[in-house]
């Protein structure tokens, strides 16, 4: 086993009902995500699913938080027991967050540090939300970051393109899932 892969974790972020429904071609997107997850499992790469979730009554949502207060009504369907729309294996880890970044209001940093993970591979919905916020925070925490460009989605294609092509390469290795799968299977 390649020691770099042993220190790698694939984060699948916000792939849950209420969020994935924003994709026009969610079946094609899910097929590619499932392929990346399967290849991660085959290469003993830790898969971590990150979902946004709230307690009954959404006490985590402040009226001063513009993003989350606007979705308070919809948040009732994203309670603390939120799960990804794809099956989780027993070896996978489920992290619940309460803000946009996968680190904010979650135990993700503790899970990554306790597991000795140095390299994180990001995928998620949306590019300008969870992917951007998590990338910034992960860079500040000194993780090596890879972003799977085709496993990120944003409702604004122009913003997605600017982030993937101009912003993220400053802090991360940006590749598509096919290339990442080829790389991990060749090690």
Q: What is the pLDDT of residues 76-131, one digit of tens each?
A: 555 545 667 788 999 999 998 888 899 988 999 999 999 999 999 999 999 999 99
End-to-end CA distance of the chain, in Å? 8
For the CA atoms of the chain, what is the radius of gyration? 16
Fold type of domain 3-185: Rossmann fold (3.40.50)
- Give the span between the Cα atoms of 41 and 60, in whole angstroms: 33
- Give the span between the Cα atoms of 129 and 117, in whole angstroms: 23
Where along the chain do its domains lie?
3-185
């Amino acid at each position: 086993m390649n020691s770099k892969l042993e220190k790698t974790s694939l984060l699948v972020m916000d792939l849950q009902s209420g969020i994935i429904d924003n994709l026009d071609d969610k079946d094609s997107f899910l097929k590619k995500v499932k392929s990346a997850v399967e290849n991660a499992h085959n290469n003993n790469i830790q898969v971590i699913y990150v979902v946004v979730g709230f307690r009954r009554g959404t006490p985590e949502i402040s009226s001063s938080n513009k993003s989350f207060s606007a979705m308070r009504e919809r948040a009732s369907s994203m309670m603390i027991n939120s799960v990804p729309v794809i099956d989780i294996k027993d070896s996978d880890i489920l992290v619940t967050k309460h803000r946009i970044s996968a680190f904010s209001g979650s135990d993700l940093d503790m899970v990554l540090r306790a597991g000795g993970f140095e390299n994180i591979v990001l995928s998620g919905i949306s590019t300008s939300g969870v992917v951007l916020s998590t990338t910034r925070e992960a860079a500040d925490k000194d993780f090596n970051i890879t972003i799977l460009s085709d496993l990120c989605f944003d409702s604004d294609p122009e913003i997605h393109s600017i982030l993937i092509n101009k912003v993220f390469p400053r802090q991360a290795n940006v590749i598509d899932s096919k290339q990442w799968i080829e790389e991990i299977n060749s090690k």
